[in-house]
Amino acid sequence: MRTIAFLSILACMSSGPAVGQWRIGLELMNTYYRGSAVDTSGNPHARPGNAAMPTLHIETKVNDVRVALRMSYGKPGLSVTGQGVTITDKSSDKLYEALATVGFHVGGIGPSGAIVVDVGPTLHVWKASPETRTRIGGLVAGSYEWPVSERFTGAVRIEGIFSKSWFDEADLPPEFRRQATWRYGWGVGLRYRL
């Protein structure tokens, strides 16, 4: 529902004269998780596993501000880390994400490259059998973009996302304590100007 509302806002904004061309693109993000749950009696940590996430990127420009919607899918699984060993079970879960961002051009490298900073809310829908968990979070990201051809732009992106723990209290043994889930990642993409 939030995704539909966001797309409606983008559609309304696109009718104004200040709006530039739309861009659509694909990215491949490598994601790494920290936090979520820690064993207070020792070293083990429980968290979502690391994952590669294909991402659809839709963007328009309102004056000097970029407004974008990103939708991703992945299978991070569940990881337990302790004593220098990480065990990950990727057999039973799926992750769907929607990220709405506003971006600002903050500089450039070379004659035509652009450095952009994005901030915005995130929605994570984690389908861990037999349940579905929804988490709201926040994102800060930076990207470097450069022209590949007249209509195509390449992009390299780094990002950090935080949300409350992906675990409910009933999921964990008594010695575990929930904590915020942090995700960082990097990716590459190609965008097409419509």
Residue 19 pLDDT exceeds 70:
no
Q: Is-contact 148 192, C-beta < 8 A?
A: no
Q: Which residues contact 27 (CB under 8 A, 6 or more apart)?
A: 54, 55, 57, 70, 155, 157, 187, 188, 189
Band of residue 18 on the pLDDT scale cut at 50, 70, 90: very low
CATH of the domain at 42: 2.40.160.20
Write down the pLDDT at residue 115: 92
Average pLDDT, the chain: 82
Write down the pLDDT at residue 188: 96
Q: Which of the pair, 91 or 161, is modelled with greater confidence?
A: 161
**Segment 124-175, tens digit of pLDDT:** 998 877 778 888 999 999 999 999 998 999 999 999 999 888 777 777 777 7
Write down the pLDDT at residue 166: 77
CA distances from 60 to 3, 6, 170 (A): 16, 13, 42
Write down the pLDDT at residue 101: 94
pTM of the model: 0.75
Distance CA 44, CA 83 (A): 7
Residue 25 pLDDT exceeds 80:
yes
Residue located via tokens 């994601």: 31
Residue 13 pLDDT exceeds 60:
no
131-147 and 45-48 as β-strands: parallel, antiparallel, unpaired?
unpaired
Mean pLDDT of 13-33: 75
Return the closest-CA partner of residue 141 out of 187, 173, 95.
Answer: 187
Total of domains in the chain: 1
Quote the domain boundaries for residue 48.
2-193
